[in-house]
Amino acid sequence: MQAVLSFDPPFNMALEARIRLGIIAKQRGELDVAIDRLKSVLSIAQTNDMLSDVWTQIGHVYEMKAEVALAQNSYMKVVDLNPNNAKPLQQLGWLCLKHNQHVEAIKFLKKAVSIDMQDGKGWYLLGRCYMAVREFEEAYDAYKHAVNSDPSNPNVWCSLGVLFYQLNQHLDALDAYSRAININPNICEVWYNVGTLYDACNQTNDAQDAYQKAAELGADAQFIRERLDLLRAREANQPTTGMPGANASPGPSEPPTTSPMPSFTSKSAPPPVNAPPPPSQGGSGNLQQPPGPSMGGPPMSLPHSMGQGGPSQQGGNPGSISSSGPYNPNGQPPPPGMMGGMPPGMSLGQGPPGSMRPMGHRGGPMGSLSGPISGGSGNIGMGVPRGMMEPQGKM
């Protein structure tokens, strides 16, 4: 591509070539070269969209160089160029969250969702921010919006499981993890979280199965090996003194989240609010985005203890699975608008398949999930581990 520039191509082509050369240098790890090439375009970029794309790429290179302040400054320039676009604010919020700048992250992401309330990515990142500062009620509300906007995103369901785990709502946590697996059975963090859930409830066989699946999918092999050795020793009534992790249970892990990385020069104009979604382009492999959320119906209830900032204590064994039989998820991904109230005749404690239960709810499992998990091409070999969870005290 460097040769293209030497042939004195048309101006627009030369600009595009310079940008692509910068991106190629970034991908090769030549970060200083990438910065120089991208900055060479700033003074001659012809449109705000092109300028926005260049500053976004520059910000990402600074992220890769761990120069956080320079990355933030670059993304702020994109925000200034696009004050009514939520994506640059999502980028800033995610950067701040990764570096534990929670107040700034929440500020940027709240502004992002105020600009585009139907973008599930913004709500999801906002929920992650609230989880980081243990504001569980706010996190739940943000995840609720995220599920409405993008019910087929397994990361949202995984993070909901983490939230319910923190609140000792074990059944809800397992249900949320099950939905994540039903959408994508190949996320190691979800299987790891299923393992930690069963591990904390002293269900050794089920925990081993889930940890093993997580290891097969790329989780920390050393940790998994140590944890499996510990569980097997406990199962065989062997002494575990001195073994890694013998005195503590592991906690859940949030799923990986990619940077929003907005693109401006390739964007298409958004459809009118009431217009039907555009036809799906074959071969992309992407899930079609659902329409915006339906927020009718009664608000979702919260446990009384949430008002005092404490976890939900549901009496007896919080969040434990009932003794009605094994629990094997096979529900369909929930439909858009699932938060819009219950169908006629459905009592509390029940929910339509794919519905999301309130925090602290005392009823049965969310929806109706039974049977093995399949990934579209047959059984994946292992569903969510079977068995009855009996929590042993607080997590």
> Which pLDDT does position 385 carry in this prediction?
42
Q: Is 379 strand, coil or helix?
A: strand
> Which pLDDT does position 357 carry in this prediction?
52
| Residue of 117, 156, 122 whose CA lies nearest to 140 | 156
This prediction has a pTM of: 0.67
How wide is the angle at C-alpha 168 spanned by C-alphas 130 and 127, nearest 5°? 15
The b-or-e profile of 196-210 (16+ CB within 10 A means b, else e) is: bbbbbbebbebbbbb
Helical H runs in the chain? 2-6, 11-27, 31-42, 48-64, 68-81, 86-98, 102-115, 120-132, 136-149, 154-166, 170-183, 188-200, 204-216, 221-235
- C-alpha 97/C-alpha 139 separation (Å) is 14
| Residue of 29, 56, 30, 32 whose CA lies nearest to 42 | 56
> Which pLDDT does position 221 carry in this prediction?
73
Contact criterion met (CB below 8 Å) for 74 and 55: yes
Q: Which residues lie below 8 Å from residue 374, measured CB to CB, with a gap of 6+?
A: 330, 380
> Which pLDDT does position 223 carry in this prediction?
81
> Which pLDDT does position 196 carry in this prediction?
92
Q: Is 233 strand, coil or helix?
A: helix
Domains and CATH numbers, the chain: 154-252+306-337+354-370+381-395 (1.25.40.10)
Contact criterion met (CB below 8 Å) for 249 and 230: no
- C-alpha 127/C-alpha 187 separation (Å) is 20
- pLDDT tens digit sequence for 167-178: 999 999 999 999
Longest dimension (CA), the chain: 77
Q: Which residues lie below 8 Å from residue 318, measured CB to CB, with a gap of 6+?
A: 168, 169, 170, 311, 312, 391
Contact criterion met (CB below 8 Å) for 189 and 256: yes
Going from the C-alpha of 23 to that of each of 59, 71, 261, 376, the distances in angstroms are 12, 16, 13, 36
What string of pLDDT tens digits covers the 395 residues of the chain?
Answer: 454 445 455 557 888 889 999 999 999 999 999 999 999 999 998 899 999 999 999 999 999 999 999 999 999 999 999 999 999 999 999 999 999 999 999 999 999 999 999 999 999 999 999 999 999 999 999 999 999 999 999 999 999 999 999 999 999 999 999 999 999 999 999 999 999 999 999 898 999 999 999 988 886 778 888 888 888 888 888 887 878 777 676 778 888 766 666 776 654 334 443 433 443 333 333 323 222 222 222 223 333 333 333 333 333 333 333 323 222 333 333 333 333 332 233 222 333 334 445 554 433 334 332 222 333 333 333 445 444 333 333 33
